[in-house]
Structures are given as C-alpha cells and as structure tokens.
Amino acid sequence: MSLKPPVSDHDHIQGHSQAHISLVEYGDYQCGYCGQFYYIVKKLQQHFGDKIRFVFRHFPLEAHPNALHAALAAEAMTKYNKFWPMHDILYEHQQSLDDFSLIEYANMLGISEQQFRNDYNDPALMEKIQQDIESGLRSGVNGTPSIYINGKKYEQDYSYEYLVKYIEKLL
Amino acid sequence: MLKNGRQAPNFTLNATPDQQLSLSEFIGKKVILVFYPADWSAVCGSELAIINTSVALLEKYNAVVLGISVDSKWSHKAFSEKQQLRFPLLSDFEPKGAVSQLYDVYNQQQGYSKRAIYIIDENGVIQWSYLPPDEINPGVDGVLEALDKLATES
C-alpha cells in the first residue's frame, strides 16, 4: 500500500527535503500508541540526523473525544511557524488535552487566548485535517499510528530497534 | 463468500434494543456491509474506528455502512456509544449467526462472524467482497478503490 498523495509542500515536514528516508506518520494526539511512538520518532531523528525527514498527518479518531480539537490547536499554530512546538507539547501532555489546556499551551507559545480563539475557528484548519484523514483512508491507514517509509506502508514491528535496522537497510 | 453480480440476500436485524433494520430499506443507496468477530476486541475496535472516520467520505459515494456481529443488541449499544460510532451495528444474535451464514462468512468453530466486507449497489446487487485473515485489520482503501471503480463503470 502506498502513500496517497505523496509528501508535498502542504505537509508538515521536519528535516531535509533531500533526505534519503521519508517517514510519514498518521497520528492522533490522544492515542496512547502514538504517544509512545512520538518518543521513538525523536530517537530516530537523533540517530539518523539529516538522513531522515519526518512528516506528520492528522488522523484523529472519534473514539478519542479531545483528538480533533488537539489537531486543530496544532494546525492553528502553523501560521506562526509553531506547528512542531505545539505538536511536541501535545504529545508530552497527552493526559491534558481538554480545551482549557489547549489555550494554555497556545499561551506557552506566545499566542494569546483571544488570538488563539480567532485562529482556531478558521474553517481552513478543519479542511486541512479532513484532507489528511482522507489521504490516510486512501493510503490504507488501519490504526494509529500508521507509518509510511519512503512512500510504502510499514507493516512490521514499530519498536525503535527494529525500525533502526529496517531503515539502515534502505540507506 | 457470495459471488459478485448476485442479489444480496435480504435480512432484518436489531440495530438498537428497540429498532430493527432491513437491508431492503437501503435500495437506492450503496451499502458497505462489514462483518466482524466481536465488539470490544482490540483489532475490531480499531477496524470500526477507521471505518467510522470514513463515514463522511463514503456518503459522497452515496454509501452507508452497516456493521454486523453476533453480539447482543445491548453490547452493540454500549460499544457504539463508547466508540462514538456514526453507523448502525446489527445484532446477528438470534438465531445466532444466521445472517453471517447466509453471507457465507460464519466461523462455525469459533461461533462468530469472520471479518469480511461486501459492497452492495443501489439495486441490492453484490459488487465487491473482501475476506482478510482474522488477525488482519483491513483499512478502507480497498473499499474506496472499489467504489471509485464502480463509479467509473456506471
């Protein structure tokens, strides 16, 4: 199963555009496995440096009541160039993702409550999230997190050690 | 599995403790019929959670989703609320597994429905089916591809 559509400028990308390895995650901020995988991604980035780029696409599940709002909060930070700092805060505070906490996290990044509320209600944010979800559905996402390495769905062990071995073979 | 091109057998099952649904009510719409082993088990929860996410997209194809397992209507009610499901779960409970057997997706040994998906068109004709191994959680990419194909053929 392949990634549809491929990574583009519309994506949130961390790392070099010319990196050998492209790791795409479909994730949900309230999903416990995604929370564990967040730390694995950090370690992989440290280990592989410029050789890897990381892309995050939203896949909030309805079974998680705060997941969609958390995704909107992260998206709302994009225009301040603070998507990734918010992404990190959300995964590091998975136990507190209620609306009140989301405002607090925006404040931590220097965005006032008033400003955050204005941005947060922009319908373009929801549209972006819906596009991510649709691309995930078409790419064969069957749970969160689902990851794609160099455009192909990765269906093996999600542990750090296993991923390091798998990626090293691709370099 | 029943063959493509065949009329989908009609059935009537409980969708909630006090409401029944028949397949024939959906003539004029495409029906994605999702058989699954059990409420509450991890893989199933995740399969249905993914399908739930796709409901809005499936509506654009004039398609509705119906989930079916042998769990009781009370189990379905609690499970559906927990998962915030946006499509009905039908209870193939009494006589147990009768509809699953009708669709040739009953696991006699284990006493539950196999994981299987049928796409039924607006005229009640089976157009596509898929039977993954029990332990594999299928995404909806196969269903979407089949719907795209059906749209270009018609």
User: What confidence tens digit (pLDDT) does each residue in A47-102 have?
Assistant: 999 999 999 999 999 999 999 999 999 999 999 999 999 999 999 999 999 999 99
Domain range for B127: 27-153
Residues 6+ apart with CB under 8 A from A26: A57, A58, A59, A132, A136, A139, A141, A144, A145, A146, A147
- ipTM > 0.85, yes or no: yes
B5 lies in some domain? no
Q: How confident is the model at residue A45 (pLDDT cuts 50, 70, 90)?
A: very high
C-alpha pair distances (Å), B87 with each of A53, B29, B58, B66, B83:
38, 14, 11, 6, 11
Q: How confident is the model at residue A12 (pLDDT cuts 50, 70, 90)?
A: very high
Q: Is A1 on the interface with B (CB under 8 A)?
A: yes
B3 lies in some domain? no
- What's the mean pLDDT when you consider all of chain B? 95
Whether A47 and A76 have beta carbons less than 8 Å apart is answered as: no
- What's the mean pLDDT when you consider all of chain A? 96
Cβ pair B144:A63 closer than 8 A = no
The CATH fold of domain A12-170: Glutaredoxin (3.40.30)
Quote the minimal CA–CA distance from A17 to chain B in Å.
Answer: 28
Cβ pair B139:A59 closer than 8 A = no
Cβ pair B52:A134 closer than 8 A = no
Total structural domains in chain B? 1
B8 lies in some domain? no
Nearest CA in chain B to A1: B141
> Closest to A142 (Cβ–Cβ): which among B56, B83, B139?
B139
Ranges of each domain in chain A: 12-170
Cβ pair B139:A1 closer than 8 A = yes
CATH of the domain at B42: 3.40.30.10
B9 lies in some domain? no
Which tens digits make up the pLDDT trace of B59-72? 999 999 999 999 99
B79 lies in some domain? yes
B90 lies in some domain? yes
Which tens digits make up the pLDDT trace of B94-141? 999 999 999 999 999 999 999 999 999 999 999 999 999 867 888 999
Residues of B within 8 A of A67 (CB-CB) are none
